[in-house]
Amino acid sequence: MDFRRLFRLSAAGLAAAGLLLSGCTSDDSSSRKASPVSGAPTALKKYYGQKIDWRGCGVPGFQCASMRVPLDYDRPNGTEIKLAVARKKATGPGKHLGSLQVNPGGPGGSAIDYLQGYAGIGYPAPVRARYDMVAMDPRGVARSAPVECLTGKQMDAYTQVDQTPDDTAERGLLAESFKKLAQSCEKRSAELLPHVSTVEAARDMDIFRGVLRDEKLTYVGASYGTFLGATYAELFPRRVGRLVLDGAMDPSLPAKQMNRDQTAGFETAFQAFAEDCAKQPDCPLGTGSPEEAGRRLTAFFKALDTKPIPTGEPRRLGESLATTGVINAMYDESAWPGLRESLSSAMEDDDGSGLLALADSYYEREGDGSYTNLMFANAAVNCLDLPPAFKKPTDVEAAVPSFKKASPVFGTGLAWASLNCAYWPTMATGAPHRVKAKGAPPILVVGTTRDPATPYKWARSLAEQLSSGVLLTYNGDGHTAYGRGSDCVDTAINTYLIEGTPPKNGKKC
């Protein structure tokens, strides 16, 4: 289990958005083409002026290419890296509005996979009609100079390490697992690790905007993608077009507070799940209060800590993998029926296969035992963006009570999971700060009231920080709001993207 600031959005869990908009006209500047090097620093003009060689990439309707950027923006004439990009051209009808960049979060999530698997086919038809849908795998992620660390077998071992240590020996084993991850990343990706920050990814986004010849950036970022979008707005406020930040992060928080807030978010989501579960005839956690359900689940986890159960394959289901599986299902309420079934099989029949499948999905473990680089990129970006939440195990021990107060079910494990950046080989280059983006046009910030991974109060805070922030609230469950079944949310966002008119600040759905 490793949940340290992992703000994920799974394309598979999203439903197609309902739409109440028809084609309309716009003369917004996002439809006008800019000189690719307009306003670019002299040293970077060769990057802004490059031409992309679009080609087919095996997915009907999509094109792929690569784009050059400097590894180190302080040395733009030094080493270059290639970033993977993709697009699906606007389908029409209606006036073309330029490009719409999308990012699904993570950090570490593949924007190209998200584009091809969901956004390019599942975003509302009027939006796809007017915009070229585009994506860039951020540096260090998936197809873009990926951070490489552990092998598949090593990751299997890493994901099973006990993250609720009971004694000094177990605390030592956990710390050693974090050290091994850090050492493997340094061994295999040493040159890249100091240059995968969110600031650098945002600068890459602006080069992509310039190469696409868009005067302004139009963007939908989900989860961690909101931090990426807010960072872009901070760096380039005059180049902001229409930005949607859905499932918002709060960049003003230090890592410890951020992790503890997220822990409380998962507790909120679990209580909503438990209330729903108690109404179902197949609930394995009983029909009592959410607190009673939490006690039952905690007892189940504790039993697995002592005696893992079979899964139908060599890996057995222990506490860490079971906790990962449960938390994965908290991201989307549509996963709750499957979670009930998986918990019933595990708790009543000693069959851990369902929870193992949920954990494998969370970690992006493939059927052949390999893993995507999601978790490696996640750690690399997070550990560069903020100083570590804890410097040593004794710091975690002191903080466990406050984490358990935030979540009796998940608090201990999430506190210990926050130790991983203590051993990272590169020093953090970022720090907590408020983002104002003074001079930017209205930026739409979206928050879901029972979001597990990005608590609603973060959206309120980000909207208040931004000089032009507009808050849209969705009263509901799950992670993020756009395209998850609320016509109220979808219509507000679509109107903003197509007409440029944001909803009234504070609108609730």
Helices (H) and strands (E) in the chain, counts: 18, 10
- Secondary structure (3-state) at 489: helix
Q: Is 451 a known active-site residue?
A: yes
CA distance 373 to 106: 11
CB atoms within 10 A of CB 59: 16
In which region does residue 148 sit, left (phi positive, over 0), alpha (psi from -120 to 50) or beta (all else)? Answer: beta
In which region does residue 10 sit, left (phi positive, over 0), alpha (psi from -120 to 50) or beta (all else)? Answer: beta
CA distance 445 to 248: 7
Which residue carries 């030094």 as its tokens?
Answer: 78
DSSP labels, 188-223: HHTTTGGG--HHHHHHHHHHHHHHTTBSSEEEEEET
Which residue carries 């380039």 as its tokens?
Answer: 236
* Residue in 66, 122, 444 with CA at minimum distance from that of residue 114: 122
Cβ neighbors of 92 (< 8 A, separation 6 or more) are 129
The answer to whether the beta carbons of residues 126 and 491 sit under 8 Å apart is: no
CA distance 444 to 107: 21
From the list 360, 479, 486, 490, the catalytic residue is 479
- Secondary structure (3-state) at 400: helix
CB atoms within 10 A of CB 164: 23
Residue 25: what are its φ and ψ, rounded to 5°? -100, 160
From the list 451, 461, 468, 486, the catalytic residue is 451
Identify each DSSP E strand in 53-128 by its residue range. 55-56, 63-70, 80-88, 99-103
* Omega of the bond leading into 251 within 30 degrees of 0 (cis): no
Q: Is 132 a known active-site residue?
A: no
The answer to whether the beta carbons of residues 155 and 363 sit under 8 Å apart is: yes
Q: Is 223 a known active-site residue?
A: yes
The answer to whether the beta carbons of residues 100 and 134 sit under 8 Å apart is: yes
Give the end-to-end CA distance of the chain in Å, rounded to a whole number: 34
From the list 223, 320, 407, 461, the catalytic residue is 223
| Longest CA pairwise span in the chain (Å) | 66
Catalytic residue positions, numbered: 223, 451, 479
